[in-house]
């Protein structure tokens, strides 16, 4: 008879493998990934960018502290999520925006978009986009006044020009790629955003499925409509590189909290975002639809998750 006592294994409850990942480390990586776009916006919009970005980040941190104090929650500004929200919001604001409007946007993003829903991890919508949507509805003129980079002359965004049917004197694709065009602070430079997005993909913080299905859908749909309308091959590329698509696809549609967790769900999410973006851009009243498309898909994320849930191993298929 064996002595059972000696052969007992150590039993602990899962998880058994721990990674050193934490919210603050991930947020640090997101900040690293956003830095090329930050440098690009500082280069193109100079002091205007410094003012708006600083205002947004500081206002986001202050609102987070105030909201968490009032709600008697633990103050968690050191996890860096408020900084990321403030920075992302600043990236989708025009450089000439009055600073008090930018500060209100940050406060709305943090307090209404995040803390009222229960704080980080419980928000339904991307907080930065909530802030932007609030500002667009409240101060439509200030939110759509653009300046061209470097010289600061009032201009229109490339997609705005396209919407008005301008064909002569559009910024070149090269300018769009580098970011030397009018637009929101952080959205103009596709190059810088792609670099940051690739860093996040490399680090494994975001899943390729959302950005690729999102970008792919926009490209394919604009290629089809471009061909039908007899536009050249520049047309889909213009939609691909212009506006907030890169910023949205890599940094906002990939938010862990507000997007599906299943693999098929993420592809559906990306497809939906792409479809809505193209519909708003080509048929809607606004020249740009990235913000609303992501917010609308955030709304159906729980539904997508529910219908793409993997069957439990050994479970029985549901009869319809």
Partner 1 sequence: MSLGKEFTKGIFSENPLFRLTLGLCPSLAITTSVNNGIGMGVAFTGVLLASNIAISAMRKIIPDSIRIPSYIVIIATFVSMVEMLMHAYTPELFTSLGVFIPLIVVNCIILGRAEAFANKNGILPSIMDALGMGIGYTLALVVISAFREVLGAGTFMGYAVFSGSAPSALIMILPPGGFITLGCILAFLNKMQNVKVAKKAKLNQSIAQQQLSSN
Distances (CA, A) of 111 to 31, 71, 72, 89, 119: 21, 11, 14, 14, 9
Nearer to partner 1 by Cβ, of 254 and 298: the residue is 298
Q: How far is the CB of 108 from partner 1 (least distance, A)?
A: 9
Q: Classify 147 as helix, strand or coil.
A: strand
Q: How far is the CB of 144 from partner 1 (least distance, A)?
A: 13
Q: How far is the CB of 143 from partner 1 (least distance, A)?
A: 11
Selected range binding partner 1 among 36-44, 133-141, 148-156, 199-207, rule: CB under 8 A: 133-141
Q: How far is the CB of 210 from partner 1 (least distance, A)?
A: 27
* Distance in angstroms (rounded) separating the CA atoms of residues 3 and 282: 76
Residue of 134, 212, 219, 286 interacting with partner 1 (CB under 8 A): 134
Alpha-carbon Rg for the chain, nearest whole angstrom, is 22
Residue with tokens 């307090």: 111
Helix (H) or strand (E) holding 154: strand 154-155
* Distance in angstroms (rounded) separating the CA atoms of residues 60 and 105: 9
Residue of 28, 51, 124, 139 interacting with partner 1 (CB under 8 A): 139
Q: How far is the CB of 272 from partner 1 (least distance, A)?
A: 22
Q: For residues 275-292, b (16+ Cβ closer than 10 Å) or e, as one string?
A: bbbbebbbeeeebbbbbb
Selected range binding partner 1 among 22-30, 33-41, 131-139, 150-158, rule: CB under 8 A: 131-139
140 belongs to the binding site for partner 1 (CB under 8 A) = yes
* Distance in angstroms (rounded) separating the CA atoms of residues 291 and 256: 17
Q: Classify 146 as helix, strand or coil.
A: strand
Q: How far is the CB of 300 from partner 1 (least distance, A)?
A: 19
Residue of 138, 154, 172, 227 interacting with partner 1 (CB under 8 A): 138
The runs of H, that is alpha helices, within 204-262 are: 209-228, 234-241, 245-247
Residue of 104, 129, 246, 273 interacting with partner 1 (CB under 8 A): 104
User: The tokens of 8 are what?
Assistant: 């007992």
69 belongs to the binding site for partner 1 (CB under 8 A) = no
Distances (CA, A) of 29 to 57, 115, 197, 277: 17, 23, 11, 27
Selected range binding partner 1 among 130-138, 205-213, 214-222, 296-304, rule: CB under 8 A: 130-138
Residue with tokens 């956003």: 34
Q: How far is the CB of 230 from partner 1 (least distance, A)?
A: 39
Residue of 8, 17, 20, 137 interacting with partner 1 (CB under 8 A): 137
Establish how many alpha carbons lie within 13 A of residue 117's alpha carbon, considering only the half-sphere containing its beta carbon: 17
212 belongs to the binding site for partner 1 (CB under 8 A) = no
Nearer to partner 1 by Cβ, of 43 and 139: the residue is 139
Q: How far is the CB of 54 from partner 1 (least distance, A)?
A: 21
Nearer to partner 1 by Cβ, of 135 and 161: the residue is 135
286 belongs to the binding site for partner 1 (CB under 8 A) = no
Q: Contact residues for partner 1 (CB under 8 A)?
A: 100, 104, 112, 116, 134, 137-140
């Amino acid at each position: 008879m064996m002595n059972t006592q000696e052969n007992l294994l150590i039993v602990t409850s899962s998880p058994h493998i721990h990674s050193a990942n934490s919210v603050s480390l991930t947020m640090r990586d997101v900040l690293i990934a956003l830095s090329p776009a930050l440098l690009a916006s500082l280069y193109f919009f100079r002091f205007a960018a410094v003012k708006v970005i600083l205002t947004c980040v500081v206002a986001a941190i202050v609102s987070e502290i105030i909201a968490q104090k009032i709600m008697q929650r633990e103050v968690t500004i050191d996890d860096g999520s408020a900084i990321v929200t403030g920075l992302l919001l600043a990236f989708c604001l025009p450089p000439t925006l009055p600073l008090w409007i930018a500060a209100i946007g940050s406060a709305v993003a943090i307090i209404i978009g995040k803390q009222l829903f229960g704080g980080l991890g419980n928000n339904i919508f991307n907080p930065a986009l909530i802030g932007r949507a609030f500002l667009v509805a409240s101060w439509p003129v200030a939110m759509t006044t653009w300046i061209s980079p470097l010289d600061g002359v009032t201009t229109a965004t490339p997609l705005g020009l396209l919407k008005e049917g301008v064909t002569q004197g559009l910024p070149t694709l090269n300018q769009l790629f580098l970011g030397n065009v009018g637009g929101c602070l952080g959205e103009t430079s596709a190059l810088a955003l792609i670099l940051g997005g690739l860093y996040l993909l490399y680090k494994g913080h975001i899943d390729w499925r959302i950005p690729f299905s999102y970008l792919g859908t926009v490209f394919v749909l604009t290629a089809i409509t471009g061909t039908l309308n007899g536009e050249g091959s520049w047309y889909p590329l213009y939609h691909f590189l212009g506006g907030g698509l890169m910023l949205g696809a890599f940094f906002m549609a990939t938010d862990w909290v507000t997007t599906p967790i299943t693999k098929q769900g993420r592809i559906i999410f990306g497809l939906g975002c792409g479809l809505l973006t193209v519909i708003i851009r080509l048929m809607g009243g606004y020249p740009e639809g990235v913000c609303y498309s992501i917010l609308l898909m955030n709304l159906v994320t729980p539904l997508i998750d529910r219908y793409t849930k993997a069957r439990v191993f050994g479970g029985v298929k549901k009869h319809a």
